[in-house]
Structure formats: structure tokens, C-alpha cells
Structure 1
Amino acid sequence: MKAIIIEDEKPAARRLKRLLEEMNVDVSTMLHSVGESLEWFHNNEHPDLIFLDIQLSDGLSFEIFDAIEVKSAIIFTTAYDEYALQAFKLNSIDYLLKPIDEDDLEKAIKKYRDFKPEKEQISVDFEDIKKLLSNPIEREYKKRFTARVGQHIKIINADEVESFYSENKGTYAATIDGRSYLLDTTLENLEGELSPQLFFRVSRKFYVNINHINDIISYTNSRLKIKLNRFNDQEIIVSRERVKDFKLWLE
């Protein structure tokens, strides 16, 4: 089975790709915009399965299929509410609400494999779906976290976190008060929970909050070094493969 992912939130796309590959799904391509997707479809054989986000950075993904004939099965990946998505079951293999649950993803893959649609038989009525989504909802991201401090539970607001980082198999939130709090989660689990407008994963070990970056410095091997307002326990280095995306994120 060959699949592609069309998703403008790159951390979410990378997480989905990793989960799919663990389920023996061959993800050949990740696309992030309407324009990029149109060019790809015009120049490549269509995959068996598309994991499709609805709202992309340069428009709705339906615009892709206004311009080309759909030759692939579709599993929608979206933040739209479940009530509006009931019609998706009639027009696609399945839909997955963000942040995507691993068990739900596995069930959707099984559903596709059991169904095994012929490409000529696939028909998605995008007009009906667009009508249902005429009043889109805002994507909700996690606004607060909790950490145990002795016998107490501390509430940490997301906008007070300078950085999320991993150390010695633990995941920590470094906050504006200059302290780090151990969280009951992982950086991987945070991928679908953090607002991409605020947080960017600069390396395997660090997410940074754009509102708390104090300085960005050129570093060795085409990398960048970040200084935050309070956190200085470790060096924060933007890995070379993420420098380009990081610069785009800053803008």
C-alpha cells in the first residue's frame, strides 16, 4: 500500500508518517500546500491512499480535487467537529480527529485494507462536504499542563512555557519563572497538542516558544543556536535539517 500525507502542520505530518510506517504503510511523500499538491499530482502516479487535512496554508484541500480527478482513497485528518463529519463516512474510507489517536489510525488502516477499493470505484463528493464545513471551527490546542511538585499539582499555562525538552527519559517544561517541571508525557505526544504558531520543534530534544526567544546565533555546520529569556541549563541548537523550516516558522 502506497500512501501520501497532505498536511500543512509539519510536526503533525512527521508524527503521522512515523505512526503509519510502524503499521507497514509506505508513505512516499508529504505535501504541505494546495500548490505543492497540485504540482505533485500532475507529475506522479496517484497513491492508493491519501491522508488529507482540510485547511492548508494556502487554501482548502478541496481545491486540489477541483483541478484533478481523484484516483485515490481518502482518510481525512481534521480538527472539525464530529457532528459535521458524519457525512465523511459516506464519502471516504474514514476520518480522524486531531490530535490523531494511534488506535483510531490503526482501525482506519484496517478498514481500508478490508475494503480495498478499486481506484475506478472511488467517488468523493467534495461539494457536499464543503457545504457541511461552511462554518469552520478554530483548531483547539492544549492551553495548560500539570506537573506534580511534592504533594501539590501545579498548573502551567502553555504561554508561560519557554521550552519543552527531554532529559534522562523525562519531559520537562521550562517556564518563565526560571524553573523546569517534570511532565507526565513525551515530546512525541506533544506534537499534536502544541500550537504551531507558538511552538517549534528545533531538534529531537527541544520545542521552543517564539515569544520567549531572546537571541538567535549562527552556529557550526549551518546550524543555529537559540537563547531563551530564562532557560540556560542546556544549549538549544536548531538541527541542520530543520533550519529552513525554522526560518519559515519565524516569519
Structure 2
Amino acid sequence: MNVLIVEDEELSAERLRNLIAGIDPSVRVLAIIPSVLETIAYLQNESNTRPDLIFLDIHLEDDNGFRIIESLDLMIPIIFTTAFDKYMQKAFKAHSIDYLLKPINPLDLQASLLKFKKLHALQQEKADHDTSPASLLSEKYKDRFLATAGPRIFTFKTSEIAYFVIEERATFLRLFDGRHFAVEYSLERLSQLLDPADFFRVNRTLLISVNAIRDIHMISAGKLKLDLNPATSQEVFVSSERITDFKNWLGR
């Protein structure tokens, strides 16, 4: 496993490197980088080995660590390492595995690495299944999703999901019971993974289940407004270029 440490405090970075080595000597630390700009440059350089996991401090010498995620639309799993607990909610919207407060407790770090390995193994197993000849021939669509919240890992049946929505550059699934969780997919990828008979992308930020539609309002000849269950934070309109396809989808 290859990891990247993004940390501007030299002592903290070396302590983290040593803790990782003590927990799992097979983990390879690719680099220790102290700034946002250097991290972006490293990740954009295709000749560099891509990390499987990033340990990311939030307050860096030149900017906020979230800037890396926003600039690259980063989808690499992250374990945040910081002295501040006020960013915890934002961190869990940013594809994070865990949030460790400094000074890092070795047992907490060990639990975080184990959590990442379990998630990685499950995702690899699913990817292998999805690309197997039998899977490709059967054109089986995704029927389960993984999500994390704090130290817990959740799985959901696709039938439990009302819609997927983009919020603050991250993708979230919302269940029919109202709960929501960050997921690791773009809406484009989800459109490929989900059965098109059940899910439709109504606009740039929303992919909905047919069962989530509570009401449809004809605003004008070229504009539709949807009421969904559970309700969204903003009004939902079907993009004008998708209206014909949307009506065909509803009537299939």
C-alpha cells in the first residue's frame, strides 16, 4: 500500500511515518509534502506513483488542506490528521476514511488503517466481480453501495436509495428514510452502474429513483418541477434537454 503524508510540521510528519511503520511495515510512504501547491503538483504529475491513501493535515503552510481536494476533485481516500475538531463534518463530506486528532493515538491510527484496508478489499472484490466475463455478459447492475460515517461502515441496497445528489463538490446518496452518506462515485459513473429502468439523471446535480418521485408539476411547455420523497434542500427541475427522455423513462 502506498501512502502520501501531507504535513507541514516536520516532527509531526516523522512521528506519523514512524507510527505507520510500527503498525504495518509493508506500507510505503511515497513522500512527505508540507504545502497545498506542492501536493497538487505531485498528484498532477503522472510520473509519480499514485497513493492509495493520503494522510492530510488541514492547516498547511500555504493554505487549507481542503483546497487540494477542491482543486483536483480528489477521489483518493483520506485520513485527516489535525489538531482541530471543528472541521470534522466537512471532512466526512470529502471522501475521508477517518479524522484523527493530534497527538495521534497509535491505537486510533491502527484502527483507521484497518478500516481503510477493509474498504479497499471490498471495493476491489466488487471491481473484480464487475469486470469478470460472467458479470459483463449478464450486464448486472449495482445492487449495493458502501458508505462510511465516522468509525462505522454501512452497506445499502440500491432499492433503499431515493437519489444521488452533488453537494459541495461531493456525491451523496440519500435513503428513503432520510439518512445521507458520501459515496465515491461521480454521477456519470453512477449512471453507468445503476439500472436505467430505475434511475434517471434529471439535471447536472441529481440522479433519482423512480420511486422517489412524489409529484410532477408542469411549469411551462418546456419546464418540469419535481417533488421528491425525501424532500431536497432546493427545488428540483428537469433540465430542458432531458425532458423528452424523462417522459419516455416514466412511461417505459
TM-score range, shorter chain: 0.3 to 0.5
Tell which has more relative contact order, 1 or 2 (C-alpha 8 A, sep 6+): 1
The normalised TM-score by structure 1 is: 0.45
